[in-house]
Chains A and B, each alone.
Chain A
Amino acid sequence: MPRTIKVEIKRQSNPDAPVVTEKFEIPYRPNMNITSLLGEIACNPITADGKTTAPIAYDSNCLEEICGSCAMLINGKARMACSALVDKLQAGNPDEPITLAPLSKFPVVRDLSVDRSVLFQNLKAVKAWVPIDGTYDLGAAPRQFPQIQEERYPLSNCISCTICMEVCPQFNDSTNFVGAATIAQVKLFNMDPAGSVLKEERLRALAGDGGVQECGFAQNCVEACPKQLPLTEAISDVTREVIVQQVKDFFTR
């Protein structure tokens, strides 16, 4: 019998539907990733016990770990599906099923697709942009020293995948913590010569409920981030600036 890849997928047909697990067996091909595995199921949506089912809903786009859309729980851990290689996951035990589940801290839309708009709202709340829109030409941007550029570049690699938030013990519906990604973006935009005009507003925003203070420094974010952002360093730096801003505001505002 040709080798197959066993997959178990947690499914949910809509946000309020009951959760069910479906099992699949997919003919083995070398060099598959989880997204191609899901594509294979979509071509032939039949479960391991022969029942025809709906193809799995999941998010993906770039297939090269740059769009940030395909985060899910693979064998229980938050990872990007497009860079999770089947051969590596099964190294040693090819008969073990691979389990797939939606991220656990975001509302499920359907199957493996979740609503991660809270990150977008958080980025808006801290004004994670450079304000250059005007009714007239604002002219050339200020020059940026290479030293600044070098410190900013790693932070600009964030792909908004929300893995840092998913793995954080403090990111939950009781703290409503803002999460590492947003804090790192505050550092990125505060260091931009033009973006720094909003620095104080960003720092004040982050002192609100759910802000930097909720970090418990478990450091899971920096371990799990697929783009290796220096998240703990960013949180430490930004928190210091938030504290300084709060003290300044207390005496001068």
Chain B
Amino acid sequence: MATVAPPVPSATSPQRGVQPLRAGQGNSFLWRKLHSLSGIIPIGAFLVEHIISNFETWNGPLAYAKQVVFLNSLPLVRVLEWAFIFIPLAFHALYGVFIAFRGRSNVNVYPWAGNWMYLSQRVTGLIALAYIVQHVWRQRFSGVMLPEHPGAAFAKVQHELSNPWMLAIYVIAMIATTWHFSYGIWLFAAKWGITPGNRARKRFGYVCAALGIALCLMGLASIYAVVYKYPNAPENVLPETPAALVQPAAATPAASLTRSLTVTPLTTQSQPRSTPQS
């Protein structure tokens, strides 16, 4: 090791430029590792679940509705939703924006593969954030409430994608999100010391790329199914969904409440093409 001569210490001015390591101080290590981990569990796990669930659209509106009913039948589903999706996602996204804006990308000077991927992780993260905000608002918290009307899920997405701009946004976001996730797994393995060796990192890169491409294609296939494979899907394929749950004033609340939500409608395949419930 060559040594670097220390500068003449100046009593008046503080040190300029990048400051030295604050050895052992602060909590940024914990927050940064939580950010890293949250990208895999629970957010990454949820993304995989979400893409697999949505792939049910390939089998048509009714199959998709069953999947929505199943997910909403999970115990404590609203608690799960907040604890394992919304809160970790908000943390990862906001801390991710903080991380992204503290970096000084320099691909213009050093146009190397890893450097481009560093930039892409930030850009795809920001695209994902912008997309997720509108997606969660428009599909989860406004319009027809899908937890209460699972049968309306397919049509709700189909209406959304009938706008060609929305379709383009969904396609771009699908590519960006699966890219971000698959390179994220690679980053996680590299940064937690799971794949230290050059060859291990390279090999794992192929694994992550394959996973990313598979997820992306599944997602794009779902979009295709919603837009082109099942045109003019019925507004609600499970029309007996008890309206009373959201509209207490509706007629015969007792009767509709006693009807089974999950069993009856799913077995009556001939019914779905009936008129919308509302």
Q: Given A125-B20, A167-B106, A182-B21, do A213 and B6 touch, yes or no (CB 8 Å)? A: no
Contact of B253 with A by CB under 8 A: no
Q: Which of B1, B4, B196 contacts A240 (CB 8 A)?
A: B196
Given contacts A107-B17, A118-B19, A236-B195, contact A218 B4 (CB under 8 A): no
Interface hits, B1-48 → A, CB 8 Å: 1-7, 15-26, 28-30, 32-33
A67 at the interface (CB under 8 A from B): yes
6 additional A-B pairs beyond A77-B110, A218-B117, A236-B195, beta carbons within 8 Å, are A67-B2, A105-B18, A126-B23, A172-B102, A217-B114, A246-B30
Question: Interface 1/0s, chain B 246-260, versus A by CB < 8 A?
Answer: 000000000000000
Nearest B-chain residue to A124, judged by Cβ = B20
- Judge whether B16 and A107 touch: CB under 8 Å: yes
Report if A117-B195 is in contact (Cβ < 8 Å); known contacts: A169-B105, A209-B26.
Answer: no
Are A240 and B192 within 8 A (Cβ)?
Answer: yes
> Which residues of B are in contact with A by a Cβ distance under 8 Å?
1-7, 15-26, 28-30, 32-33, 99, 102-106, 109-110, 112-115, 117-118, 121, 187, 190-198, 201
**Residue of B15, B21, B25, B191 most packed against chain A (CB within 10 A):** B21
- Selecting from A20-28, A39-47, A89-97, A153-161, the interface stretch reads A153-161
Q: Mark A56-82, 1 if CB is under 8 A from B, else 0.
A: 000000000011110000001100000
Closest 9 CB pairs of A and B: A240-B193, A219-B114, A209-B26, A218-B118, A205-B23, A236-B196, A121-B20, A213-B32, A107-B16
Decide if B21 touches A122 in the complex (CB within 8 Å): yes
8 CB < 8 A contacts A-B? A105-B17, A106-B18, A109-B7, A125-B23, A159-B2, A169-B106, A211-B28, A243-B33
Name the residue of chain A whose CB is nearest to the CB of B116: A218
Q: Are B112 and A220 in contact (CB under 8 A)?
A: yes
* Min CB–CB distance A59 → chain B (angstroms): 10
Check if A185 is an interface residue, CB within 8 A of chain B: yes
| B18–A208 touching, CB < 8 Å | no
Name A208's contact: one of B4, B15, B23 (CB within 8 Å).
Answer: B23
Q: Is the CB of A176 within 8 A of B7?
A: no
Q: Return chain A residues, CB-CB under 8 Å to B16.
A: 15, 107, 115
- Choose among B30, B190, B193 the residue with the greatest number of A CB atoms under 10 Å from its CB: B193
Complex CA distance for A75 and B52, rounded to whole angstroms: 50
Contact between chains at B17 and A173 (CB < 8 Å): yes
